[in-house]
Amino acid sequence: MPTVRRVAEDYLDHLAVERGRAQNTLRSYRLDLGRYLDHLDYLGRAELTQVAEADVAAFVTALRTGERPLAASSAARALAAVRGLHRFALYEGLTPTDVAAGVASPALGSRLPSALSVDQVDQLLAGCVSDGPVGLRDRALLELLYSTGARISEVVGADVDDLDPDARTILLHGKGNKQRIVPVGRPALAAVDAYRVRARPELAGRGTGSPALLLNARGNRLSRQSAWHVLRAAAEASGLPGDVVAAVSPHTLRHCFATHLLSGGADVRVVQELLGHASVATTQIYTHVTVDTLREVYATAHPRARG
């Protein structure tokens, strides 16, 4: 019987080779399974056949109450990795039952993604005021994020040839190597055009011919971390209230994109396609905005709304 650690390595290989999971996903799974393996070592469980449902439940409890407790969402993600491991072991005939199937995930609550108003987004984008090469690139980056609802990793991963100015679209490479074509608004196209004409040639001359659309100061592809710093710097320079600036995250403009589309009457399934969500249930966390709008209209228009 292979050890728990051997089965975990086989499972990660399965995710990479047969399931084609993205590198970021694999890194997260490896981290979460590493925590689980340490937990099983502490319990003296060298083989999966020795693991009981109570051991898995104790792992979740330890994640939430240990010296460095994880948020409910992080603990739920770790449990998902553990469940995948045990399902894999059952499918491979290494265990007679799936002891993780009945373990409940931590309650995630109903926390909704924060979104800026349209005026606040305009103010945030205005935080990029420099006409230098880096400033023009930063404006193009932020305009693309808001115009397309793309993840930061998708925008910095785009190449020059992925943008079609005539069709006003961009090809995005999403999670799990899934591709989608998303429309690009005219303000974003104008910002990208200014960057490509007035800034990118200078930046590209400092590098070795990267095909990336967005380049850093050395002429190489802009990293996710650098793009996140650009967003933070624009927020801090925008003059927005401190609590709004503090709430800005890598997904802020993606949240704003979805929220503003739904508030404007877009169909949730169209927004799902634009965001690249596999399930419409993921997109529906944004529909609270539409409900809030309907509630305001009802409160002001119905004769018995205040009754």
Contact status, residue 10 vs residue 89, Cβ threshold 8 Å: no
- In the residue annotation, 168 being an active-site residue is answered as no
Cα→Cα distances 152→94, 249, 297, Å: 40, 11, 35
> What are the residues whose beta carbons fall under 8 Å from the beta carbon of 5, sequence distance 6 or more?
37
The catalytically annotated residue of 139, 151, 173, 260 is: 151
The catalytically annotated residue of 86, 196, 251, 255 is: 251
The catalytically annotated residue of 36, 146, 195, 286 is: 286
Distance CA(193)–CA(184), nearest Å, equals 12
- In the residue annotation, 251 being an active-site residue is answered as yes
The amino acid sitting at 1 is M
> What are the residues whose beta carbons fall under 8 Å from the beta carbon of 295, sequence distance 6 or more?
none
The catalytically annotated residue of 87, 175, 221, 288 is: 175
- In the residue annotation, 286 being an active-site residue is answered as yes
- In the residue annotation, 277 being an active-site residue is answered as yes
- In the residue annotation, 178 being an active-site residue is answered as no
Using alpha carbons only, give the angle 269, 250, 239 rounded to the nearest 5 degrees.
110
The catalytically annotated residue of 39, 139, 254, 260 is: 254
Residues annotated as catalytic (active site), given as ranges: 151, 175, 251, 254, 277, 286
